[in-house]
Amino acid sequence: MKEDIVMKLLRQVKSGEVSVEDARVALEDTVLTVEEFGAAVDHGVFNEPEMGTVVRASVSPFGDSILILLLSLWGILWSLYWAGALTYGLFNGWDQQSLSFHMGMLMLTIIIIGMVYLKFVMPDVVIVKHRGNKYITSNDPDGWKQYEV
């Protein structure tokens, strides 16, 4: 969403930097025509967005968290440990039970890292996709061709 003066003022009121009365005084002399008011009310509510319009695109606030960074580092270190142990076991003739355990732990660690990435790091993007109108031709008897074998 475009950062304009009204949105900035609303965020300041929400955070408590500006009181509601001060915000009303700041917006008191604002004059809108009937068309501008109608366009402001209808915008994004009643208007159909264009195909492929990004309605919301915001990066998750947890992506910059130290906890997520530490968890990712923890996951990478354990993945390297399990992959190294699996490789070592392959070259030294370990039995299948030990190798499958190390392979399973490696996969589990990678899956956990992927879930944390999808939940807390990946951007939250919603793209509007409307179905396009289909064009169906009429049944034209002259359009058919008779093929003989």
Report the domain count for the chain. Answer: 2
Q: Is residue 11 part of a domain?
A: yes
Q: Residue 16: left (phi > 0), alpha (psi -120 to 50), or beta? A: left
Tell me whether strands 54-58 and 124-127 are parallel, antiparallel or unpaired: antiparallel
- From residue 88, give the alpha-carbon distance in Å to each of 84, 99, 104, 108, 110: 6, 10, 15, 19, 19
Q: Please give the pLDDT value at position 101.
A: 97
My answer on whether 40 and 94 are in the same domain is no
Tens digit of pLDDT for each residue in 34-66? 776 666 666 655 566 666 666 555 556 666 678
Q: Is residue 19 part of a domain?
A: yes
Q: Is residue 43 part of a domain?
A: yes
Distance, in Å, from the CA atom of 60 to the CA atom of 48, rounded to the nearest integer, reads 27
Tens digit of pLDDT for each residue in 58-83? 556 666 678 888 888 999 999 999 99
Long-range contacts for 103-109 (Cβ within 8 Å, ≥24 apart)?
105/78, 106/79, 106/82, 109/75, 109/78, 109/79, 109/82
Q: Is residue 100 part of a domain?
A: yes
Q: Is residue 42 part of a domain?
A: yes
Phi, psi for residue 24 in degrees, rounded to 5: -65, -40
Count of alpha carbons within 13 angstroms of residue 103, beta-carbon side: 10
Grade residue 1 by pLDDT with cuts at 50, 70 and 90. Answer: very low
My answer on whether 74 and 37 are in the same domain is no
My answer on whether 30 and 74 are in the same domain is no
Least confident range from 55-69, 91-105, 113-127, 130-144: namely 130-144
Q: Is residue 2 part of a domain?
A: yes
Q: Please give the pLDDT value at position 77.
A: 97
Distance, in Å, from the CA atom of 107 to the CA atom of 115, rounded to the nearest integer, reads 12
Domain range enclosing 36: 1-47
